[in-house]
């Protein structure tokens, strides 16, 4: 497993890391003058776990985390642990026929990636794959946008996304690509199988390599004038339909 140091900004991200995170928090930093209503719980949990609490100037935190709304609360974590593809496969196949992974096909916008992580964790996705190159990685901005959801979602980085998708296909997963031009509606597709759902960037969509790996391309029906949704919103729409189908008993009909 690959590990890198990182800072966790914001109340929700720090709280989730303290309560659920598999990594060790080295220190919690709180901005001087921060009102206690938002810090009491963080301080209590940190003290219970014997984690040092440091007061820092708000300007210092902003320098360390430029353009990130850290809310005056930051955790210094020892390491972020990336998982590996084999681990994601093992988790998914424990839910045979219900396995669900997401592959982020060179999504470079950190905000969109963080939003997708939050959406995936909400719907119980078993893991996320990221390419190592030409892709956003786990960063303070991604952690902030995920609102702490990253602690509930194993994330693997792969050298070659196409090769990883081929491996997953060999393990029985269907590779399903999300694309605006597909005529196959997400509401007509049968989602009751082991799946890898592939999302491309909002600007470029799916890469050719990812498309070639897909068993099926699906799209979200639209009637408005907006051409596309950001990946977090699109992910929510599709994952909601997957969840609905999987929770609907066989033979039941949609009202």
Instruction: Classify strands 73-81 and 3-9 as parallel, antiparallel or unpaired.
Output: antiparallel
pTM of structure: 0.81
Of the pLDDT bands very low, low, confident and very high (cuts 50, 70, 90), residue 250 is: low
Is residue 241 left, alpha or beta, with left meaning phi > 0 and alpha meaning psi from -120 to 50? alpha
Treating both helix axes as pointing N-terminal to C-terminal, what angle do 231-247 and 110-122 enclose, rounded to 10 degrees? 10
Q: Which residues fall within 8 angstroms of residue 52, CB to CB, at 6 or more apart? A: 26, 27, 28, 46
In this predicted model, what pLDDT tens digit does every residue of 154-164 receive, in sequence order? 999 999 999 99
In this predicted model, what pLDDT tens digit does every residue of 50-100 receive, in sequence order? 889 888 888 888 888 887 778 888 888 877 788 899 999 999 988 888 999
Encode burial over 21-46: b for 16+ CB neighbours within 10 A, e otherwise: bebebeebbbbeebeeeebeebeebb
Q: How confident is the prediction for the chain on average, in pLDDT?
A: 85
Q: Which domains does the chain have, with CATH numbers?
A: 3-81 (3.30.1330.30), 85-247 (3.40.1280.10)
| H or E stretch at 4 | strand 3-9
Widest pairwise Cα distance in the chain: 61
In this predicted model, what pLDDT tens digit does every residue of 34-49 receive, in sequence order? 776 778 888 888 888 8
Tell the residue number behind the tokens 């068993």, with chain if given: 215
Interatomic CA distance for residues 35 and 46, integer angstroms: 17
């Amino acid at each position: 497993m690959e590990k890198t140091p990182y800072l966790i900004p914001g109340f929700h991200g720090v709280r989730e890391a303290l309560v659920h995170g598999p990594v060790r928090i080295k220190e919690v930093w709180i901005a001087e003058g921060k009102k206690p209503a938002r810090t009491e719980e963080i301080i209590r949990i940190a003290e219970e776990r014997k984690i040092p609490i440091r007061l820092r100037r708000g300007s210092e935190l902003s320098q360390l985390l430029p353009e990130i709304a850290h809310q005056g609360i930051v955790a210094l974590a020892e390491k972020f642990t990336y998982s590996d593809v084999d681990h994601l496969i093992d988790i998914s196949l424990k839910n045979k026929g219900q396995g669900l992974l997401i592959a982020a096909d060179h999504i470079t916008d950190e905000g969109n990636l963080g939003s997708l992580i939050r959406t995936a964790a909400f719907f119980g996705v078993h893991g996320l794959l990221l390419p190592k190159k030409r892709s956003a990685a786990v960063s303070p901005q991604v952690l902030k946008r995920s609102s702490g959801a990253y602690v509930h979602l194993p994330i693997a980085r792969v050298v070659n996304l196409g090769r990883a998708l081929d491996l997953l296909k060999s393990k029985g997963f269907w590779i399903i690509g999300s694309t605006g031009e597909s005529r196959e509606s997400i509401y007509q597709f049968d989602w009751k199988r082991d799946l890898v759902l592939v999302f491309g960037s909002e600007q470029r969509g799916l890469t050719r390599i990812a498309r070639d790996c897909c068993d099926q391309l699906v799209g979200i029906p639209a009637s408005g004038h907006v051409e596309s949704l950001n990946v977090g919103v699109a992910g929510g729409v599709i994952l909601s339909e997957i969840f609905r189908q999987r929770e609907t008993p066989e033979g039941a009909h949609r009202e």
